A and B are shown apart, each in its own frame.
Chain A
Amino acid sequence: MADKPIDPLRFHQTALNVQAYRQQVLASNIANADTPNYKARDIDFQSALHNALGAKSGSVALARTAARHLPAAASSPFATAVQYRGEQQSSVDGNTVNSDVERAQFAENSVRYEASLTFIGGYLRALNTAITGQ
């Protein structure tokens, strides 16, 4: 029972993290709209959120037991969900960014991010009301 009130917070916090991560991937796409051979990427939000909720806390890094071991960068827990976007219209320079799609997704993701923020704010206010009893 003790950890019950935290659960919705944890869910929305994870969702916020995934959305912030997705925002950065979409920003990369928009920034590279004119870069030759750049391939647009996006994340599968559902599986990223699912993986992040199921994952143990803390990042996964390789242990280095000898001085000559190569350090493996601790990758983000969402990195595995990144996929290349399907190509809609090929361009001569090998770039697959469709500016309109990316901007639409960017705007949509911002709204979702704000929705998560609203949920968290509302939950915190509800908790506050319960605590003060007014």
Chain B
Amino acid sequence: MSMFNVFQIAGSALTAQSVRLNATSSNLANADSVVSADGQPYRAKQVVFTASPVAGQEAVGVQVRQVVEDASPPRMAYEPKNPLANEQGYVSLPNVNVVEEMVNMISASRAYQVNVEMMNNAKQLILKTLAIGQ
């Protein structure tokens, strides 16, 4: 029954949006991490979505295709007293754009909410369908 596919579609979207929320929160948490595991400043991570069929061709869910690192150059701050400063006195800071990440966070959580609502709606309709003739 195709109404049940709504659960799978919304479920895949919930997973994808929560991965996006995870990436956003790690970006925000590391907005000032001058050194990451590889010795370089932290690079912002962005999630790329792709549509993936869940059942048949028409029910299309979402999947995280890859997590890419933001290629933009690191932010440079003039801090001559910092031990990590270069010869000119500049420190490379992560290329996290905090405003962009906040917008990303709001967008992801709204999308999550919409998908939860969609699931509730499908559940109600299925329960009403079960009550036919009673």
Q: Does any Cβ of A come within 8 Å of B3's Cβ?
A: yes
Residues of B contacting A38 in the complex (Cβ-Cβ under 8 angstroms): 51, 60
A residues whose Cβ falls under 8 Å from a Cβ of B: 16-17, 20-21, 23-25, 27-28, 30-36, 38, 41, 73, 75-76, 79, 82, 99, 103, 106-107, 110, 113-114, 117, 120-121, 124
Establish whether residues B118 and A106, one from each chain, have CB atoms under 8 Å apart when the complex forms.
Answer: yes
Residues of A contacting B35 in the complex (Cβ-Cβ under 8 angstroms): none
Residues of B contacting A107 in the complex (Cβ-Cβ under 8 angstroms): 121
Indicate which residue in A32, A76, A113 contacts B62 across the interface (CB closer than 8 Å): A32
B residues whose Cβ falls under 8 Å from a Cβ of A: 1-3, 5-6, 9-10, 12-13, 17, 20, 48-51, 56-62, 107, 111, 114-115, 118, 121-122, 124-125, 128-129, 132-133
**In the complex, number of A-B residue pairs with CB atoms less than 8 Å apart:** 102
In the assembled complex, how far is the CB of residue B29 from the closest CB belonging to chain A, in whole angstroms? 22
Q: Chain A contact residues: over half helix, strand or loop, or mixed?
A: helix
Establish whether residues B2 and A24, one from each chain, have CB atoms under 8 Å apart when the complex forms.
Answer: yes
Q: Chain B contact residues: over half helix, strand or loop, or mixed?
A: helix
Establish whether residues B114 and A30, one from each chain, have CB atoms under 8 Å apart when the complex forms.
Answer: yes
Q: Decide yes or no: A28 and B60 within 8 Å by CB, A106-B121, A121-B133 being known contacts.
A: yes
A106–B118 CA distance with the chains assembled, in angstroms: 8
Establish whether residues B62 and A35, one from each chain, have CB atoms under 8 Å apart when the complex forms.
Answer: yes
Residues of A contacting B6 in the complex (Cβ-Cβ under 8 angstroms): 23-24, 27
A38–B51 CA distance with the chains assembled, in angstroms: 7
Establish whether residues A117 and B132, one from each chain, have CB atoms under 8 Å apart when the complex forms.
Answer: yes
Residues of B contacting A73 in the complex (Cβ-Cβ under 8 angstroms): 56
A34–B12 CA distance with the chains assembled, in angstroms: 13
Indicate which residue in A20, A32, A79 contacts B3 across the interface (CB closer than 8 Å): A20
Establish whether residues B118 and A30, one from each chain, have CB atoms under 8 Å apart when the complex forms.
Answer: yes
